[in-house]
Chains A and B, each alone.
Chain A
Amino acid sequence: MKRSWIAVGLWMVGHSQVHAEQLNVLIGPPSLGQGGSNPVSIPPFNPVDWQLTYVTEEQHEWVVSLVPGLLFGQRFTYENLYAALGAGLLVTSSGLGLGVNHAYGYESKPFLGKFRYQIEYRQVIGVGRYGWQFPYSFRMGVSYAL
């Protein structure tokens, strides 16, 4: 347990692997607690399908989406894969809540200079006014190195 806290301290002072600052734009239908996810909107104008993520050079991520919500976390990378742990405000058909989240994703090699293809699974466990909530999303998109 002591080693864990030391490791947490290290990444909080910026010891984590340095990567370029990036913006992720992902699309995919979330699950709101009514079974699985619905099909993605066609044309893709439904804002619930979209997710924007800003990732700092220290691999801190800020997630903005209607579902699962507004989240902050830390990314960890292994080759083209990444994992994220975080927490924030979650949004589902049951209303607002607070929760923790984790995500797993894949990023391709760069194309057209600063773009990468990206696929991500993100889920939240949280609690709101009506009890436990477990929204998730499976999204695809691109990341752009800023």
Chain B
Amino acid sequence: MFRSLFAGGLAIALVGILGPDAEAQIRLQAGESMLEQGDFLLAPGVQLSLGLADGSRYRLDFSGRRFGSFLESTTMISRDETLKIFPWPEVSARYGVTLLDAYTSYKPQQGKAEEVHDFNLGLSLGLGYRLWQGQDWAINAEWNSQIFAAGFAFLVLTTARKTVFTLGAEVSL
């Protein structure tokens, strides 16, 4: 079921990107990022994003590590849009939704291997700053936060949050 949900999210994103309403001009961005998951620890990651001329953007954030028999990764696919709320063109506010896959696998040398995917749908809120802009290129610093409801505990306002700090290079095509 969760795999279907994940595939569905990907399909929605692709339809949005490749659909007939998509504008001709697109912006591609690739960057290095640091991921924080509520524990004040920073994990290295990567970010790829594709922005359309209407201001919408599809973003992939990934971070993972292997330690011993364990492999864990965090993958987030987000769709966000710009909210024109700041008076400075270099500073941007973004909002959208995020689909999360928190994956952990355990593969011992002997014994049964196990793996688990935890999926969640959350709110994406971001703050960006354009450090430099050329004719087709730009360098951006971003602070994106993904907030997730902690199941039924959200009734008592319990949340989880994943923050991504990114320094990325963007090209307009």
Instruction: Tell which of A60-68, A107-115, A131-139 binds the partner.
Output: A131-139
Q: Does B40 contact A76, Cβ atoms closer than 8 Å?
A: no
- Using an 8 Å CB-CB cutoff, how does the interface string of B109-151 with A read, 1 for contact, 0 for none? 0000000000000010101000000000000000101010010
Interface presence of B89 (CB below 8 A): yes
Which of B55-63, B78-86, B97-105 makes up part of the contact surface?
B78-86
Per-residue CB contact flags for chain A residues 110-138 toward chain B (1 = under 8 Å, else 0) read 00000000000101010000011110101
Cβ contact within 8 Å between B86 and A28? no
Q: How large is the interface on A (under 10, 10 to 19, 20 to 34, 35 or more residues)?
A: 35 or more
Contacts of A27 in B (CB 8 A): 157
B68 beta carbon closer than 8 Å to chain A: no
Shortest distance from the beta carbon of A107 to any chain B beta carbon, whole Å = 13
A4 and B158 within 8 A (CB) = no
Contact across chains for A36 and B87 when beta carbons are under 8 A apart? no
Q: A102-B127, A138-B147, A138-B159 are in contact. List 7 more A-B contacts (CB 8 A).
A: A4-B90, A16-B87, A38-B158, A102-B143, A104-B95, A123-B161, A125-B143
Which of B37, B145, B157 is most buried by chain A, counting CB atoms within 10 A of its CB? Answer: B157
Q: Across the interface, do A35 and B93 meet the contact criterion of CB distance under 8 Å? A: no
* CB of A29 to closest CB in B, whole Å: 6
What would be 26 A-B contacts, judged by CB atoms less than 8 Å apart?
A1-B90, A4-B90, A28-B157, A29-B158, A35-B39, A35-B160, A36-B160, A36-B161, A37-B159, A39-B157, A76-B87, A81-B85, A83-B85, A83-B93, A94-B40, A104-B95, A104-B125, A121-B147, A123-B163, A125-B143, A125-B165, A132-B40, A132-B42, A133-B40, A136-B145, A138-B157
Number of contacting residues on B, CB 8 A?
A: 33
B residues in contact with A47, CB < 8 Å: none
- B88 interface hit (Cβ, 8 Å): yes
- Chain A: which residue is nearest B36 at the CB level? A134
Chain A residues at the B interface, C-beta cutoff of 8 Å: 1, 3-4, 7-8, 10-11, 16, 27-29, 31, 33-40, 42, 76-78, 81-83, 92, 94, 102, 104, 121, 123, 125, 131-134, 136, 138-140
In the bound complex, do residue A7 and residue B87 qualify as a contact, i.e. CB atoms below 8 Å apart? Answer: yes
**Is B153 engaged at the interface, CB distance under 8 Å to the other chain?**
yes
Asked if A39 and B156 make an inter-chain contact with CB atoms under 8 angstroms apart, the answer reads yes
Expressed in whole angstroms, the Cα–Cα distance for A38 and B90 within the complex equals 36
Do the beta carbons of B85 and A37 come within 8 Å of each other? no
**Residues in B whose Cβ lies below 8 Å from that of A94:** 40
Task: Determine the chain B residues whose CB is within 8 A of the CB of A4 once the complex forms.
Answer: 88, 90-91
